[in-house]
Amino acid sequence: MFNVAGIEKKIIPKTLPYGKHHVRSYLRQNGNEEEWIKLQGYVYGKKLNEAFAYDGVKPFISYCEKENIEYCIISHKTRYPYSGPAYDLHQSARDWLIRHNLQKNIFFELTKEEKIERIAEQKCTHFIDDLPEFLTLPGFPENLTRILFNPFALNLAQNLPPDIKIMQSWKEIQSMMEKETGLKKHSLFELNTENM
């Protein structure tokens, strides 16, 4: 999605490898942080309705529900983009989640610190995110299993603490969960479901 939007806006080459991380790196390395900020607003505000859920998300949710494992969606997202048109990013995300039958237990936090506080408040046992820089912030609950979702097998593991698990698919995450014992119905998960 970020590649398509970036090509549409004529700010990235068509030959750029697919994925949000590649687009972000390309724009930042070329001194275009402002374009990256605007592109995020455009994708998460206007184009999100065109995004698909990652393969395996729905079976994973079904597995959680069947096993009485609670989950929640905790997102760090400003209400409006920092730059560009004033899309309501919370409403856009909520609409997308509802359309994909993921409307239960949704929390939008305005800061990363508030997101970490919400994770603790919800007593999450596992937390899934696609940003290694977020997973390495201080303040996470002590016994939390942090999972880096890395579907494009990017080299994101540099400088990651060894206790952060790296998974490339929702099927792999589900398989890990099936092997764990002692998961209670109060186990909760952050879901990053947008296929960007």
Q: Express each pLDDT in 115-174 by its tens digit.
A: 999 999 999 999 999 888 899 999 999 989 999 998 877 676 667 888 999 999 999 999
Closest C-alpha among 94, 29, 31, 37 to residue 6: 37
Q: Spelled out in words, what is the top-level CATH class assigned to the domain 52-195?
A: alpha beta
| C-alpha span between 75 and 148 (Å, rounded) | 15
pLDDT of residue 189: 53
Question: What pTM was computed for the model?
Answer: 0.84
Comma-separated ranges of CATH 3.40.50 domains in the chain: 52-195
- The token pair that represents 181 in the structure block: 């014992």
| C-alpha span between 12 and 20 (Å, rounded) | 12
- Is residue 186 predicted with pLDDT exceeding 70? no
pLDDT greater at residue 188 or residue 78:
78
Cα dihedral 6→12→13→16 (10° resolution): -80
Mean pLDDT of the chain: 87
Mean pLDDT of 76-85: 89
| C-alpha span between 37 and 9 (Å, rounded) | 13
160 within 8 A of 71, measured Cβ to Cβ: no
